[in-house]
């Protein structure tokens, strides 16, 4: 299994509060991704990174920001959480564009 | 517009049945992936295909590049096969995957 962890695994927060999710890898892979998974939508890309300090937006990036200051860590921040951001968040890593390994997921509930 | 479409969305089968899940895509791809997600669980890769057919135990994945279509077959299905199966395409330009919405499979003993 690829060495990829996410923290926290579960979080309940209130509308308007900031939230940061962390993805950590031990594989030294170049690419890292943040997805959200919602019923009826499948996995949707929020942001991705193709190197330290190199990030780009995905299809559902509004309300989210990311940072990658080290190869091993990719942070996803919700500056002011809303109920529509209640979801399961998955991080993924890859060393090439042809494969992705997924983390265990973070279940976020915004009340 | 979905670049990857899966069918059926939901599937219930009796233990032992042969199961087929279909995936169609509209983009040029470098590879097609089948992923499995158990309830409440993480996502694992089953197959990565760029042509032909691959087999792993009771699971078989095929792809027809000309028709832009892939199938995942499960022979002699078992209740532990109950999961969501996701088709994903890695396009031949760009570095983002396109995902289908998944097929939820339930195998009844």
pLDDT of residue A52: 94
Tally of CB atoms within 10 A around B64: 11
Segment A29-40, tens digit of pLDDT: 999 999 999 988
Instruction: Residue B45: list chain A partners with CB under 8 A.
Output: 99-101
Instruction: Residue A50: list chain B partners with CB under 8 A.
Output: 95
Segment B7-65, tens digit of pLDDT: 999 999 999 999 999 999 998 888 999 999 998 888 999 999 999 999 999 999 999 99
Instruction: Residue A41: list chain B partners with CB under 8 A.
Output: 101
Name the minimum distance, in Å, from the CA of B101 to any CA of chain A.
4
- The answer to whether the Cβ–Cβ distance between B43 and A90 falls below 8 Å is yes
Name the minimum distance, in Å, from the CA of A82 to any CA of chain B.
23
- The answer to whether the Cβ–Cβ distance between A100 and B96 falls below 8 Å is no
With a cut of 60, say whether residue B98 has pLDDT above it: yes
Nearest CA in chain A to B94: A97
With a cut of 60, say whether residue B102 has pLDDT above it: yes
Which residue is it, tokens 């996701």? B86
pLDDT of residue B41: 81
Three-class SS of residue A84?
helix
Say if residues B36 and B84 touch (Cβ distance below 8 Å): yes
Cα–Cα distances (Å) from A75 to A26, A66, B66, in that order, read 15, 5, 40
Of residues B48, B90, B96, nearest to A45 (C-beta) = B96
Instruction: Residue A58: list chain B partners with CB under 8 A.
Output: 96
With a cut of 90, say whether residue B94 has pLDDT above it: no
The rounded mean pLDDT for chain A is 93
Span A72-95, average pLDDT: 96
Say if residues A17 and A81 touch (Cβ distance below 8 Å): yes
CA distance between the termini of chain A:
34
Span A22-31, average pLDDT: 95
Span A57-61, average pLDDT: 92
Segment A93-107, tens digit of pLDDT: 988 767 889 999 999
pLDDT of residue A97: 67
**φ, ψ for residue A53, nearest 5 deg:** 65, 5
Say if residues B104 and B58 touch (Cβ distance below 8 Å): no
Nearest CA in chain A to B84: A42
Pick A47 or B40 by higher pLDDT: A47
**Dihedral through CA A51, CA A56, CA A58, CA A63, nearest 10?**
110
pLDDT of residue A28: 93
Give just the sign of the alpha carbon dihedral A21, A27, A30, A35.
negative
**φ, ψ for residue A84, nearest 5 deg:** -70, -10
- The answer to whether the Cβ–Cβ distance between B94 and A103 falls below 8 Å is no
Pick A79 or B1 by higher pLDDT: A79
- The answer to whether the Cβ–Cβ distance between A101 and B94 falls below 8 Å is no
Q: Which residues of B84-95 are buried (b: 16+ CB within 10 A; e: fewer)?
A: bbbbbbbbeeeb
B106 cis-preceded (ω within 30 degrees of 0): no
pLDDT of residue A1: 53
Say if residues B33 and A89 touch (Cβ distance below 8 Å): no
pLDDT of residue A100: 87
Three-class SS of residue A66?
strand
pLDDT of residue B1: 63
Tally of CB atoms within 10 A around A83: 10
């Amino acid at each position: 299994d690829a060495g990829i962890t996410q923290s926290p695994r579960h979080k309940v927060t209130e509308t308007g509060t900031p939230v940061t999710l962390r993805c950590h890898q031990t594989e030294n892979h170049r690419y890292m991704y943040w997805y959200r998974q919602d019923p009826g939508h499948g996995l949707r890309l929020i942001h991705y990174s193709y190197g330290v300090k190199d990030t780009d937006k995905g299809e559902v990036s509004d309300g989210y920001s990311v940072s990658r200051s080290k190869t091993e860590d990719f942070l996803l921040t919700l500056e002011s959480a809303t109920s529509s951001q209640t979801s399961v968040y998955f991080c993924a890593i890859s060393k090439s564009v042809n494969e992705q390994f997924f983390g265990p997921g973070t279940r976020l509930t915004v009340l | 517009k979905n670049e990857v479409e899966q069918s059926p969305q939901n599937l219930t089968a009796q233990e032992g049945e042969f199961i087929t899940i279909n995936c169609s895509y509209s983009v040029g791809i470098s590879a097609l992936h089948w992923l499995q997600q158990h309830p409440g669980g993480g996502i694992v890769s089953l197959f990565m295909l760029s042509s032909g057919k691959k087999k792993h135990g009771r699971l078989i994945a095929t792809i027809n590049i000309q028709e832009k279509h892939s199938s995942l077959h499960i022979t002699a299905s078992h209740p532990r096969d109950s999961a969501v199966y996701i088709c994903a395409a890695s396009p031949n330009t760009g570095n983002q995957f396109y995902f289908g919405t998944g097929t939820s499979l339930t195998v009844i003993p």
